[in-house]
Amino acid sequence: MGLGPVATPEGKESSGNTSSTKVRVANFTTIPAFSEFTVRVHCQSPGLRFLQFEAKHHESLGISMANGIADILPLQPFPVKVLNLSERDRVLPKGMILGHALSHPKGIIALTSEEAPPFPERPDVDGELWKEEVNLNHLLPKQREIVWGLLAKYRQMWDGHLGHVTTANHRIELIPGAKPVQVQPYRAGPRARELESEEVQRMLKAGVIEPAISEWASPVVLVPKPDGKMRFCVDYRKLNAITVRDTYPLPRMDECIDSLGDATLFSTLDCNSGYWQIPVSPEDIEKTTFTCHEGLFWFLRMPFGLRNAPATFQRTMDILLSGLKWKTCLVYLDDIIIFSKSEEEHARHLDQVLTLLAGAGLSLNLKKCHFFRDTVDYLGHVIRLGKLQVATKIRKLSEPHDLPGLSRNFVPSWASATFTVALSQDLPSMPLR
């Protein structure tokens, strides 16, 4: 099916409404004939706005933007629905005016439909149900009430929503002369296609991805996990090969552990899908496009597998916690630990960390967080009362470097070519330096 005429990016703002601003197409987009498509647009006017389609300029092309309400950030792309009722594909050039963002009334009087749609289920964040996800049985009743009061201040951080960091985004800078990556989907059987579909739908629902029209395409691969389940991954190896490396350093695990010193109380925090809480820079979204049997999609949030994703996440967390890192907390990617010498001090330190994370828009997975513990697992080690032990496991190692995160102090015959190391609670504790 051939492409129809390219729509002109010119348009006129309604002369009778001075409060309107132009809603422009953010990226070159092609809408297939007789179809509805999600188009990324932007405008200069911030805040809650009513989007109104510019009918008189585009009716002849057979395209129409859905009217609606949007909470707009200045020049930050946001999605709108555009309908193509013509018999030909329509090309929307970058900068094309689709409509206007009008000042919206402060309240909505009623829904237009006769019956209001049901609200989606969400945790009872205003009640007490979230407490069921936290185990504080190791504390005395009085101590427990203090911790409950502290955690209640930040209940919105674990209401189940996916956080959105507003102070950072992920860039993908290409080496000079690089060309778009274009790879066909890998072959997949019925079960693999079913798993692909489930994950794509989950990410669409979470707002992590959206349908794409792009000259970029990286394939999806399903990787088996240790428990036998499959992990949905995008094979970004070709994209990574043409990406300029970000050399931002990750912390040394041994230095992190040594910094705990003589602390006796610990809390560990787990981000809710941490990478997905960082947006991809608008100009680089197209490069994240992946192809599978469900179609073509790109990431709005930072995906796993990109060359510089760990550096972006570590830099973001370092900036957020810059005043506290190494003093009262440590962060290695999405592993955060708060450490203190007394209960009063620990409550203050935990409050400071949660304040910074909440202010940045991060959300946490409460089920995987642990509070006011004298023993915690951190970076493969058991930290307890100023001492260090290795987490319980038994592994067969062919070379010493097969276990780079393990301290040499715990491994007998470290230099041996082949040896078995029993990592158990029976190993002696090492004092933290």
Q: pLDDT per residue over 218-263, tens digit each?
A: 999 988 877 777 888 999 999 999 999 999 988 787 777 777 767 8
Average pLDDT of the segment spanning 408-427: 48
Average pLDDT of the segment spanning 119-133: 54
CA 154 to chain centre: 19
Q: Which residues contact 380 (CB under 8 A, 6 or more apart)?
A: 253, 390, 391, 405, 406
Degrees to nearest 5, angle at CA 61 with 60 and 66: 100
Average pLDDT of the segment spanning 30-57: 82
d(CA 27, CA 19): 25
d(CA 332, CA 348): 21
| Residue 303 confidence (pLDDT) | 94
d(CA 271, CA 269): 7
Residue pointed to by tokens 């099916």: 1
Look up the pTM and report it: 0.62
Average pLDDT of the segment spanning 78-104: 84
Average pLDDT of the segment spanning 134-144: 84
Q: pLDDT per residue over 165-220, tens digit each?
A: 988 999 999 999 999 999 999 988 888 889 999 999 999 999 999 999 999 999 99
- Lookup: tokens for 291: 């192809």
Count of other CB atoms within 10 angstroms of residue 113: 7
Q: pLDDT per residue over 52-79, tens digit each?
A: 887 766 667 788 888 888 888 866 888 9
Report yes or no: 383 and 419 within 8 Å, Cβ to Cβ. Answer: no
| Residue 355 confidence (pLDDT) | 92
Q: What is the DSSP string of 67-94?
A: PEEEEEPTT--EEEEEEE-SSSEEEE-T
Q: Which residues contact 166 (CB under 8 A, 6 or more apart)?
A: 360, 361
Report yes or no: 22 and 11 within 8 Å, Cβ to Cβ. Answer: yes
Question: What H or E segment, with its residue span, contains residue 393?
Answer: strand 393-397
Decide if pLDDT at 16 tops 50. Answer: no
d(CA 267, CA 370): 5
Count of other CB atoms within 10 angstroms of residue 204: 14
Q: pLDDT per residue over 286-298, tens digit each?
A: 999 999 988 999 9
Tell me the residue type at 223. V
**CB-side exposure of 304: number of CA atoms within 13 Å?**
12
| Residue 1 confidence (pLDDT) | 44
Query: Taking Cα atoms as reference points, which of 267, 307, 253, 256 lies closest to residue 284?
Result: 307
d(CA 43, CA 64): 18
**C-alpha torsion angle, residues 368, 371, 377, 378 (rounded to 10):** 90
Tell me the residue type at 187. R
Q: pLDDT per residue over 329-365, tens digit each?
A: 888 888 898 988 888 899 999 999 999 999 999 999 8
CA distances from 156 to 134, 172, 354 (A): 15, 31, 11
Q: Which residues contact 358 (CB under 8 A, 6 or more apart)?
A: 154, 156, 157
| Residue 89 confidence (pLDDT) | 82
Count of other CB atoms within 10 angstroms of residue 60: 10
For the chain, the average pLDDT equals 78
